Structure 1
Amino acid sequence: MSEGGDVYDLTSANSNVETFCDLARAADITGRTIDDVAAGLLDDAERLSSEYVDERIERPVVPDEVWAAGVTYHISEQAREAESETPDVYLDVYDGERPEIFFKATESRTVGPNEAVGVRGDSTWDVPEPELAVVLHRGAIVGYTVGNDVSSRSIEGENPLYLPQAKVYDRCCAIGPCVASAESVSDPHGLEMSMRIERDGTVLYEGSTSTSEMVKSCEEIVSYFTRHNSVPEMVVLLTGTALVPEEGFTLKPGDDVSIEIDDIGVLENTVTAV
């Protein structure tokens, strides 16, 4: 946990609190907020150096499942139309009441900060998709993190029914660097988000946007995700992207991708072929 710039190891205060899920579970049982539960452990928790944390930072939450919403920004609707041979389906989703929600990754297909995200060996057009990620415990919003929904645009563009293959594969998703509690993020729909892609020290892409551009709110997306759906205890739900590199750009092994969202932090990953 980070408090006032200092970082604490809450597991040193109570061995029953080993994961973010443990914190969320304790908050749910006691009717308190996650911040309150964490604050109650600080006096007995070991303070860590920033160097120690930087060297050992891992996924801040280990989700049972990762899901994602698509076509939630106007530019993503335009990009999906441009890549597809059946563009009308994306316009229908952007204008429709029901959001596009799809399965993205299992725990084993998800990586953390400073790990390598993957691009498929049978894909010719691959892009990172920086997204605000909602962290859910038993279907309720308990925090936010940064997500990278790495995708094959060539496979999806060939046929929308190929979406699972374009989205779900080894190292297809990154989350981190931390979970900002729901209480600490005053407005998830007013956060600045930026992405930077470098190759051999050269900046190939740099852009920024705001989550205020989302056509659907986090609450709306979560509502549709949990309808008639028995969701696992811990889920990360990506909310869509508005930062799309120009057509013709594709990720290559060795690239560095950096995604930053206000109030949460910076998620950095390299790229590898899978």
Structure 2
Amino acid sequence: MLPKENTLSGATLVGRVWRPDVQGAALVTLRGDRVIDITSREVPTMRDLMELDDIPGYLTAAQGEDLGSLAEITANSDEAAPGGQLRLLSPADLQVIKASGVTFAESMVERVIEEQAAGNADLAQEIRAKVAGIIGDSLRGIVPGSDKAMQVKRVLIDEGLWSQYLEVGIGPDAEVFTKAQPTSSVGWGASVGLHPISSWNNPEPEIVLAVDSRGRIRGATLGNDVNLRDVEGRSALLLGKAKDNNASCSIGPFIRVFDGSYGIDDVNRAELTLTVEGEDGFVLEGRSSMTQISRDPESIVAQTIGRHHQYPDGFMLFLGTLFAPIQDRDEPGQGFTHKVGDVVTISEPGLGMLQNTVRLSTDCPEWTNGIAATMRNLAARGLL
């Protein structure tokens, strides 16, 4: 579950696993290839761990229980493995899952196409050529809210191509929305879900920041912000339906905690790769470079939390993606859309590899282990 070119040796990694013997989640850290349970009364949840001032120090001092090798637990976490085994979960628990959209200039063009096509893939190719002829790559490097950004806005309005997506892409205010609810995200090896009404959709490979209740960025991980392009394209008011469905948010495999060897500068240099492998033999490859993000990640965090909005349990923040697939899968001009059974792999050398299999949301396991169930389980184990 770690890419061959990984640089994770010595990294401070934390995550969560499902322990069938206690019928609940446990906090874990990775020591070499061993997965160590560090759950305690002091730190019963990932939310509590992220609130500590010295996370690496706590992890070094924690005794913990050896649960097995990473390879063993990864094998158990594959969706084809029998249920009820020790397996990886999403590293997020009580945190709200937030996401920022339209943070890359290139993907802004695709959002304009979605809006102008009104969810109709047949119109996308023609509109894509028209929009690219006017916008091209000229938006890359523009500082949102700057004088230059406002000049571009005036040009686009004159051309009749101004869009709500371009407003949040180059305007002063970032788009930040709620992607998923606390405890609802899925982890490595799980199925990710598509709402059955969608026929035009795609993965979104992204860096996800772990932010505590004081707005401090404590670490980073990988995420797949599964997106229904046709639903969102019909109306931006359908964003919730396009984004927040059963199993539509995967995060993991571990949060890499910021320490002396890794920090926000490494996030800003991150290079993500994406592979989609279909049961029909189709293969899609893509990349997303954080060096091309239009908004500084720290500024997005500052727009999310502050005096205007508090998050007592912290939050996970998807930073958006450069990736917008246009490769034809079936008919010419139809572009890419998922098929059930697609295996999606997102990799980044400093963060590892996140892999999930695409299913319909109605066929994915139901989300039943909410906050109340989590609290009752911790209390029964004497951890609260």
Out of 65, 71, 78, the residue aligned to residue 51 of structure 1 is 71
* Separation of aligned partners in 1, 2:280 and 2:346: 16
One-letter code aligned to 1:220 = S
Which one of 21, 32, 39 corresponds to residue 47 of structure 2?
Answer: 21
1:171 aligned residue (243, 247, 264): 247
Find the residue that maps to 1:254 and give its secondary structure: coil
Instruction: Tell me the equivalent position of 2:16.
Output: none
8 Å Cα contact 2:206/2:222 also seen in 1: yes
Question: Normalising by the residue count of structure 1, what TM-score does the alignment of the two structures yield?
Answer: 0.90
CA distance in 2, matches of 1:41, 1:108: 24
Shift of 1:107: 2.8
Contact 2:46 2:94 in 1 (8 A): no
Mapping for residues 109-148 of structure 1, pairs under 5 Å: 109-138=184-213, 139-148=215-224
Instruction: Return the alpha-carbon distance in structure 2 between the equivalents of residues 51 and 93 of structure 1.
Output: 42
Q: Does 1:79 align with 2:110?
A: yes
Instruction: For residue 108 of structure 1, report the CA deviation from its aligned partner.
Output: 4.8
Quote the RMSD (CA, aligned, Å): 2.0
Say which one has the larger Rg. 2
Deviation at 1:201, TM superposition (A): 6.9
Counterpart Cα distance in 1 of 2:345 and 2:94: 22
| Paired letter, 2:262 | V
Residue 199, structure 1, aligned to residue 278, structure 2 = yes
Query: Structure 1 stretch 185-194 or stretch 51-60: which is displaced more?
Result: 51-60
Offset from partner CA, 1:145-171 (integer Å, 9 cap, x none) = 111110111011111222111111211
- Residues 82-91 or 210-219, more deviating: 82-91
Separation in 2, partners of 1:109, 1:45: 26
Give the alignment partner of residue 316 of structure 2, picking from 232, 236, 242. 236
8 Å contact from structure 1 (residues 196, 203) kept in 2: no
2:348 alignment partner in structure 1: 261
Residue of structure 2 equivalent to 1:66: 97
Amino acid at match of 1:80: R
Aligned match of 1:94 in 158, 165, 169? Answer: 169
Shift of 1:219: 0.5
Alignment of 1:183-198 (within 5 A): 183=259, 184-186=261-263, 187-198=266-277
Aligned to 1:111, the other structure's residue is in SS state coil
Deviation of 1:17 after TM superposition, in Å, equals: 3.7
CA shift for structure 1 position 221 = 0.5
Residue 58 (structure 1) shift: 1.6
Whole-angstrom CA distance in 2 between matches of 1:104 and 1:58:
18
User: Aligned partners of 1:145, 1:240: CA distance in 2, in Å?
Assistant: 13
Following superposition, the deviation at residue 179 of structure 1 comes to 0.4
Query: How far 1:207 moved relative to its partner?
Result: 1.4
Q: How far 1:213 sits from its partner (Å)?
A: 1.0
Alignment partners' CA distance in 1, 2:277 and 2:320: 22
Q: Distance in 1 between matches of 2:346 and 2:255?
A: 15
Check if 1:7 corresponds to 2:34. Answer: yes
Question: In 2, distance between residues paired with 1:17 and 1:46?
Answer: 17
CA distance in 1, matches of 2:325, 2:164: 22
Structure 1 stretch displaced more, 123-132 or 183-192:
183-192
Query: Which residue identity does 2:269 align to in structure 1?
Result: G
Q: Deviations along 1:99-148, whole A, 9 cap, x unmatched?
A: 11111111354111111111111112111111100111113211111111
Q: Match of 2:57?
A: 36
Identify which of 228, 232, 242 aligns with 1:152. 228
- After TM superposition, what 4+ stretches of structure 1 lie above 3 angstroms from structure 2? 14-19
Aligned to 1:268, what secondary structure does the other structure show? strand
Shift, 1:203, TM fit: 4.4
Q: Distance in 2 between matches of 1:18 and 1:8?
A: 17
Distance 2:183 2:36 in 1: 24
Number of equivalent positions: 266
Per-residue deviation at 1:45?
A: 4.6
User: Identity across aligned pairs (percent)?
Assistant: 31
